[in-house]
């Protein structure tokens, strides 16, 4: 690749390598390699798309951040809140994350989104200072419960045909018969709820919350089937209660279907987490000024092109050379993203997946040098 005489900077916009490197750490490792062979400007920017890392990205962009806490099962569960004017932004992953606190928390049938509802309720207890809008970053969760737990955390009642409370999590989905969302509506009467999603999956069916993501959360094949059946059942109930609700709407399957119940019954809406991050951090302008853009994440697959941050970077860089760097790359994604100039996978250098995770920063630095040699 030949660079012009006065090129713009190389802009690195990496998403996290989950369980391994943060967005900025991944970008920094690539930049270190690039600077070993190139003298030109290299700019490292953070990236998040609704999953874990969103609040930290906003903190780096200058948003004030505070830490709050809710009691879940009698134990305090802290979470961070970023403020964008009178809008509060929180991450579901901090409250119901599959890897919350660095510990695998896999419970495919029992995990619930209730802690997210409790956190929203905690923010509403600010009285006159209650936020006008609460934005929930959805991604990296361990639950598949259609957001029923979130409703319960806001005071809603969820009952079966015998008027008993349903079990939490995916286990209770098929038993649902009645929802009283009145307490939740009253609590949020003057506050808008927004779900910042990182995928455009529907609530259920092929590619939905269960079939698309429950296996990643530890669900067996039978449990995936049971969860999808339960999600479809809840979808029918929500459609009957809210005639404009469509379970196939893109994004309703994010976070185990977390937005579904609130979108149907509380007037919540779905927004792109990547778009939120781009707007808050001025990423569009940074990318448009670049001579070369580098993006990627731990695994680059079709999902990366379906609402996640790296896909949004590729779109924003139209007409600018783009390089994708990932731990591993799905050939189907590579075939679809024909506009990408170069592809680099850590697994092409590492002896195994475990090796690529253990030495991710070192391999990224090597790839940075390789990109630099190509770009000279």
pTM of the model: 0.90
Tell me: do 258 and 305 sit in the same domain. no
Together in a domain, 319 and 298 = yes
The answer as to whether 305 is a domain residue is yes
Confidence of residue 128 (pLDDT cuts 50, 70, 90): low
Q: Does residue 163 sit within a domain?
A: yes
339-376, pLDDT tens digit by residue? 999 999 999 999 999 999 999 999 999 999 999 999 98
Tell me if 227 is assigned to some domain. yes
Q: pLDDT tens digits for 2-37?
A: 444 467 999 999 999 988 899 999 999 999 999 999
Residue whose pair of structure tokens reads 């990224």 in the numeric block: 364
**Beta carbons within 8 Å of 237's beta carbon, 6+ residues apart:** 176, 177, 179
Q: List C-alpha distances in Å: 147 to 74, 101, 258, 277.
A: 21, 22, 4, 23
Looking at residue 127, its pLDDT comes to 66
Residue 56 lies in a domain: no
Per DSSP, what are the bridge partners of residue 77? 70
pLDDT tens-digit readout, 188-228: 999 999 999 988 899 999 999 999 999 999 999 999 999 99
Is there a single domain that holds both residue 240 and residue 307? Answer: no
Same-domain check for residues 229 and 350 = no
Give how far Cα 65 sits from Cα of 58, 60, 130, 323, 328, Å: 8, 10, 15, 33, 33
pLDDT exceeding 90 applies to what percent of the chain? Answer: 88
Specify the 3-state DSSP secondary structure of 179.
strand
Domain total in the chain: 2
pLDDT of residue 251: 95
pLDDT at position 126 over 80? no
> For residue 125, how many other CB atoms are within 10 A of its CB?
10
Q: Are residues 79 and 164 in the same domain?
A: yes
Same domain, 195 and 267: yes
Do residues 83 and 224 share a domain?
A: yes
List, in order, residues 6 or more apart from 305 with CB less than 8 Å away: 311, 314, 333, 336, 337
341: number of CA atoms within 13 Å, CB side?
17
Residue 96 C-alpha from the chain's centroid: 12
Residues 39 and 82 in one domain: no
Among 264, 259, 269, 273, residue whose Cα is nearest residue 237: 264
Dist. CA 49–CA 139, nearest whole Å: 8
- Tell me how far apart the alpha carbons of residues 20 and 12 are, in angstroms, rounded to a whole number: 18
- Report yes or no on 1 lying in a domain: no
The residue segments making up the domain with residue 326 are 10-47+283-375
Category of 169 on φ-ψ map: left (φ > 0), alpha (ψ -120 to 50) or beta: left
Could you tell me if residue 348 is inside a domain? Answer: yes
Shared-domain flag, residues 146 and 15: no
Q: Residue 53 is encoded by which pair of tokens?
A: 């890392």
Tens digit of each residue's pLDDT (9 = 90 or more) over 250-276: 999 999 999 999 999 999 999 999 999
As a whole number, the mean pLDDT across the chain is: 94
Q: What percent of the chain has pLDDT over 70?
A: 98
Task: Say which CATH number the domain at 102 has.
Answer: 3.90.1510.10
Q: Look at residues 220, 241, 274 and tell me which one is the last residue of a structural domain.
A: 274
Is residue 4 situated within a structural domain? Answer: no
Are 70 and 148 part of one and the same domain? yes
Instruction: Give pLDDT, residue 248.
Output: 97
For the stretch 2-36, what's the b/e string if a residue is b when 16 or more beta carbons lie within 10 angstroms of its beta carbon? Answer: eeeeeebbbbbbbbbbbebbbbbbbbbbbbbbbbe
Provide the CATH number for the domain around residue 349: 3.40.50.10350
The tokens describing 239, both together, are 């459609």
| Same domain, yes or no: 137 and 249 | yes
Of the candidates 228, 249, 274, which is a domain's last residue? Answer: 274
- Specify the pLDDT at position 6: 66
pLDDT band at 97 (very low <50, low <70, confident <90, very high): very high
217 and 335 share a domain? no
Structural domain contains residue 5: no
Single residue among 274, 292, 308 that ends a domain in this structure: 274
């Amino acid at each position: 690749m030949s660079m012009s005489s006065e090129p713009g900077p190389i802009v690195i916009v990496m998403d996290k390598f989950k369980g391994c490197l943060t967005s900025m750490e991944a970008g920094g490792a690539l930049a270190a390699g690039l600077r070993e062979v190139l003298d030109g400007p290299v700019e490292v920017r953070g990236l998040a798309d609704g999953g874990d890392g969103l609040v930290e990205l906003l903190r780096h962009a200058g948003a004030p951040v505070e830490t709050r806490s809710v009691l879940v099962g009698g134990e305090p569960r802290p979470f961070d809140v970023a403020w964008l004017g009178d809008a509060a932004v929180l991450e579901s992953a901090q409250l119901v994350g599959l890897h919350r606190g660095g510990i695998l928390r896999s419970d495919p049938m029992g995990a619930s989104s209730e802690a997210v509802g409790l956190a929203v309720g905690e923010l509403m207890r600010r009285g006159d200072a209650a936020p006008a809008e609460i934005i929930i970053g959805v991604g990296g969760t361990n639950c598949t419960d259609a957001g029923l737990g979130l409703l319960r955390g806001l005071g809603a009642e969820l009952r079966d045909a015998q008027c008993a409370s349903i079990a939490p999590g995916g286990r209770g989905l098929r038993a649902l018969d009645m929802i009283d969302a009145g307490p939740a509506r009253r609590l949020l009467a003057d506050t808008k709820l927004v779900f910042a999603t990182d995928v455009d999956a529907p609530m259920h069916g092929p590619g939905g919350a269960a079939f698309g993501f429950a296996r990643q959360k530890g669900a067996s094949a039978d449990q995936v089937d049971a969860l999808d059946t339960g999600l479809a059942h809840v979808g029918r109930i929500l459609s009957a209660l809210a005639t404009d609700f469509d379970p196939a709407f893109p994004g309703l399957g994010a976070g185990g279907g977390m937005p579904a119940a609130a979108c149907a019954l509380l007037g919540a809406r779905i927004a792109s987490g990547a778009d939120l991050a781009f707007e808050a951090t001025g990423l569009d302008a940074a990318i448009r000024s670049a001579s070369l853009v580098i993006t990627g994440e731990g695994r680059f697959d079709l999902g990366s092109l379906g609402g996640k941050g790296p896909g949004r970077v590729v779109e924003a860089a139209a007409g600018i050379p783009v390089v994708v760097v990932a731990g591993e790359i799905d050939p189907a994604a590579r075939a679809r993203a024909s506009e990408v100039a170069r592809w680099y996978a850590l697994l092409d250098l590492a002896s195994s997946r475990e090796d690529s995770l253990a030495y991710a920063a070192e391999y990224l630095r090597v790839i940075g040098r390789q990109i630099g040699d190509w770009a000279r």
